[in-house]
Amino acid sequence: MTSYMTSYAEGIQDFQQELICSICMEYFTNPVSIECGHSFCHGCLLRYWRGDSPPFFCPECRSGTSRRDFKANVRLGKLAVIAKKVRPDCSQYSERCAKCEVHQKMHKLFCEDERRPVCVYCSQSQKHEAHILRCIDEAAEGFRDRLQGSVTDLWKKTEDVVQQISNDKIKFALLEVEIENQKKSVLSEFQKMKQFLNEEKDAFLSCLQELGMANLEALNKTINELFHQNQQIRKRITELEEEREKPDLDLLQDMKGVLNRNESVLLKEIQTFGIRMAIWPIPRLMEHIFNLKVDITLDCNTADPGLIISEDLKSVRYGGVQEEAHNNSGRLRDFAQVLGTQSFISGRYYWEVEVPNNTMWCVGICPKSKESRDFFVLRTVQSPNSCYLYVMAQHNLYSKVHTKYRQVGVSNLKVGIFLDCERGEVSFYHVKSRYLIYTFPATSFSGPLVPFFCLSKKVLTDDCSLTICP
């Protein structure tokens, strides 16, 4: 009879388990079935796919579908309603540990120190005289409260895992875009210089592709591992819910083991993935551009009154002293700005500028004529974690940044500026790492162009200076 009741109860439990949604871990509510055959609560599936774009992945088997098609499973919903009302016979739980093996008396107390049930005679022994003893029902209720706390913590853990999965999906999409952007940058640069770089192009793209795919594969692996971790957490939640339904004595038999297993799940770190995209140098291209270097000096007549320019006209910093300026219509008033003395209307030119270790600067090129103020500049903006390099082509420096290019630390940065008047292109290079930062799309220049330098009026330290390299 006991064997029959146990099998019956296990069958009921298996029946109920099949009617639980794997997303919310509750009985199905308005269940729907998707293309792969798995079923979920209608509301749970909509929340899980919220914000996703095709393909949409099954929360259980990860198979993808291009459309959010699902059918209502009415029969499954009815079975779930029945399952809620069915409860396995509590006689399945054994009373084998109800009596003390030594005194053959019922266990009516629980020893907190040894974390096990004891009878009244055991409680009066010398072994337990200094121990904390509680009634069985009181101890069981306290343990149930602890289990409920563990369930709450585990649900919070699974929320963190789901959030990390969402973050990694965004990283995955951004990484694909970054790979494509770098491919376009590489192809553009090789097309301009293919007469002497053609033999290096295939190797360059191959390295970039391998690095990109390695990142994508590693990130995809991280996402899959997070899905597995999430499933393990949900499984542990289900186990704890089952533990809570046990009678008091059975519940307390393995209390220590249950708590240890909970702790191991909670202490497991949520995996994160840091994207590692190397920017490959183009040494022969840089050597070609270096041969076009020109000597640039600063034009004091265009400088903001607060700027302090060195005697050799190669370095400038902001001193904060508003000296009375000469009456010169070429002077720039809006920022702490200064132009280069040299102007260009045809040919190719290249120069380098050492910039300060902060985000309060920009360098580039602008038209010499004050009637036109189309700036082609590189500048930085401070983010919470690091500095970002930005580029912009705009009519004045007060307008918003036009193009955000990439995240780069700006410490000890030397910027190379390349101007091709015939092609209508302006490019910026990271000199020390020898790679292209950005090339503005080809445009038609309307007149002579001059180098442009700008410093923030908020920084007055001596080391906050722009220096034109010899």
Distances (CA, A) of 115 to 23, 131, 133, 148, 254: 34, 10, 10, 18, 9
Of the ranges 136-150, 205-219, 252-266, which is most confident?
136-150
- In this model, does residue 6 exceed pLDDT 70? no
Q: Can you tell me whether residue 214 is helix, strand or coil? A: helix
Task: Give the pairing type, strands 403-407 and 56-57.
Answer: unpaired
Cβ 144 vs Cβ 244: under 8 Å: yes
Of 92, 122, 141, at which residue does a domain stop? 92
Domain hosting residue 40, numbered range: 1-92
The neighbouring-strand residues paired with 364 are 377, 452
> At 18, which CATH number?
3.30.40.10
Instruction: Give the length of the chain.
Output: 470
- Quickly list DSSP for 30-41: SEEE-TTS-EEE
Picking from 92, 119, 138, the residue at the C-terminal end of a domain is 92
Asked if the structure places residue 397 within a domain, the reply is: yes
Are 466 and 455 in contact by the 8 Å Cβ rule? The answer is: yes
Nearest residue to 262 via CA among 164, 354, 149: 149
Nearest C-alpha neighbor of 429 from the set 304, 297, 235, 289:
289
Q: Is 418 helix (H, G, I), strand (E, B) or coil?
A: strand
Domain closes at, from 92, 113, 147 = 92
Summarize the confidence of residues 156-184 as an average pLDDT.
90
Helix residue spans in 104-193 (DSSP H): 120-123, 136-192
Query: 140 with 248: CB under 8 angstroms?
Result: yes
Mean pLDDT value of segment 140-154:
86
Residue 47 belongs to some domain of the structure: yes
Q: Has residue 339 been placed in a domain?
A: yes
* Per-residue pLDDT, 411: 64
* pLDDT of amino acid 330: 41
8-state DSSP, 293: B
Find which of 87-101, 313-327, 451-465 is predicted with most confidence, using mean pLDDT: 451-465
- Which tens digit of pLDDT belongs to each residue from 407-429? 555 567 889 999 999 888 898 88
Query: CA dist 352 to 160, 393, 467, Å?
Result: 47, 20, 9
Q: Say whether pTM exceeds 0.85.
A: no
Task: Examine residue 22 and state whether it is found in any structural domain, yes or no.
Answer: yes
What secondary structure does DSSP assign to 319-348, as a single string? Answer: ----PPPP--TT---SSEEEEBS--BSSSE
User: To the nearest 5 percent, what fractions of the chain are helix, strand and coil?
Assistant: 40, 20, 40
The tens digit of pLDDT for each residue in 277-305 reads 555 555 556 667 778 899 999 999 999 88
Average per-residue pLDDT for the chain: 78
Listing DSSP states for 215-265 in one string gives HHHHHHHHHHHHHHHHHHHHHHHHHHHHHHTS-HHHHHHTHHHHHHHHHHH
Task: Determine the average pLDDT of the residues in 433-448.
Answer: 82
Residue 336: predicted pLDDT = 85
Percent with pLDDT over 70 in the chain: 76
**116-120, 330-334, 339-343: lowest mean pLDDT where?**
330-334
Number of helical (H) and strand (E) elements in the chain, helices listed first: 9, 21
Which range has the worst mean pLDDT, 77-81, 268-272, 328-332? Answer: 328-332
Q: Is residue 256 pLDDT above 60, yes or no? A: yes
Half-sphere exposure (Cβ direction) of 281: Cα atoms closer than 13 Å: 9
DSSP assignment letter at 258? H
Q: Which region among 64-73, 339-348, 386-395 has the lowest average model confidence (pLDDT)?
A: 386-395
CATH of the domain at 407: 2.60.120.920
At 2, is the pLDDT very low, low, confident or very high (cuts 50, 70, 90)?
very low
Which tokens sit at 360? Answer: 């309060």
Q: Note whether residue 197 is domain-resident.
A: no
The H or E element spanning position 382 is: strand 375-382
Q: Has residue 20 been placed in a domain?
A: yes
- Phi, psi of 88, rounded to the nearest 5 degrees: -55, 145
The DSSP element (H or E) to which 407 belongs, if any, is: strand 403-407
Structure confidence at residue 275 (pLDDT): 57
Residue 319's nearest CA partner among 458, 185, 115, 137 is 458
Residue 340 has a CB neighbour count (10 Å cut-off) of 23
Span 107-130, pLDDT tens digits: 778 888 888 888 877 877 777 777
At 404 the three-state DSSP class reads strand
pLDDT over 60 (residue 258): yes
Sign of CA dihedral 248, 17, 44, 54: positive
- The answer to whether the peptide bond before residue 55 is cis (omega within 30 degrees of 0) is yes
Rounded (5°) CA angle 304-394-330: 30
d(CA 174, CA 191): 26
Domain count, the chain: 2
Is residue 58 domain-resident? yes
Query: Rounded CA gap, 339 and 325, in Å?
Result: 15
- pLDDT in the model for residue 332: 42
- Average the pLDDT over each of 28-37, 293-302, 355-364 and give the range with the smallest value: 355-364
Structure tokens at 34: 């998707």
- Cα radius of gyration (the chain): 35
* Cα angle for residues 174, 176, 180 (degrees, 5° grid): 115
| Residue 105 lies inside a defined structural domain of this protein | no
Q: What is the pLDDT of residues 209-254, one digit of tens each?
A: 877 888 788 888 888 888 888 888 888 888 888 888 888 877 788 7
Look at residue 349 and tell me whether its pLDDT is greater than 90. Answer: yes
Of the listed ranges 367-381, 387-401, 446-460, the one predicted with least confidence = 387-401
CA dist., res. 109 & res. 48, Å (int): 46
* Residue 53 burial (CB count, 10 A): 8
